[in-house]
Amino acid sequence: MVAERAPAPRFDIVAIASSAGGLTALTAVLARLPDSFAAGVVVVQHLDPRHRSLLAAILSRRTRLHVSSATEGMVIRPGHVYVAPPDHHLLVDRGTLTLSQAELVHFTRPSADLLFESVAASYEARAIAVVLTGTGVDGATGVTAIKKRGGTVIVQDEATSQFFGMPSAAIKTGDVDFVLSLEEIGPALAVLVSGDTPD
């Protein structure tokens, strides 16, 4: 008798962007992902560039996934979370990470837009973009890039966002598939990546 194979994941990567209020939001999302999560996760959180970031260390204590600060040339692996270091754009190129100190985008570095655009180009329909709490409009252009390549977009709802600027800007593009509460995003990602469709 031949053992049944688990279905291949529908998505290879999840790109998450957050700003003000992001630590709480990121913790809530990552804590709800199973240790069997079959996609890599890349994270842009707007941080003060003048200070060393402890974000990766903090998140690693709240999730079953392996969390690390992104470094140049890292290979993206399923079940791993890669956090953009302060004052560096995080880009994805065919399964590897690239860091850049190119000019600020929307007054920020790292930029959600640049991350999402690079993810869209590399992964196309096998990418999910998530926009969490934050001020400003970073991520909106990138959301459109993800959608144009056939990817899926999830945005945090207003009721659970500490700051609704970034989620609102993404929603206004018309390129968002799901607007979910903070508590719903992690389970939705688990379902999508496993190959099922959330209700």
Encode pLDDT of 136-180 as tens digits.
Answer: 999 999 999 999 999 999 999 999 999 999 999 999 999 999 999
Determine contact, residues 156/167, Cβ cutoff 8 Å: yes
- Spatial distance between the Cα atoms of 180 and 47, rounded to a whole number of angstroms: 24
Per-residue model confidence (pLDDT) at position 53: 74
Q: What is the sign, positive or negative, of the torsion defined by CA atoms of 180, 171, 129, 148?
A: positive
Per-residue model confidence (pLDDT) at position 185: 98
Tell me which of 12, 18, 19, 88 is the catalytic residue.
19
Of the pLDDT bands very low, low, confident and very high (cuts 50, 70, 90), residue 29 is very high
Tell me which of 12, 18, 46, 177 is the catalytic residue.
46
Residue 77, pLDDT above cutoff 80: yes
The two three-digit tokens of residue 67, written as one number: 């969390």
Tell me which of 138, 161, 175, 177 is the catalytic residue.
138
For residues 26-42, average pLDDT: 97
Q: Which domains does the chain have, with CATH numbers?
A: 13-194 (3.40.50.180)
Residue 138 annotated in active site: yes
Residue 19 annotated in active site: yes
Residue 46 annotated in active site: yes
Per-residue model confidence (pLDDT) at position 2: 45
Per-residue model confidence (pLDDT) at position 122: 97
For residues 89-108, average pLDDT: 90
Amino acid identity at 157: D
Per-residue model confidence (pLDDT) at position 147: 98
Residue 82, pLDDT above cutoff 50: yes
Determine contact, residues 119/15, Cβ cutoff 8 Å: yes
Helix (H, G, I), strand (E, B) or coil at 187: helix
pLDDT in tens, 149-160: 999 999 999 999
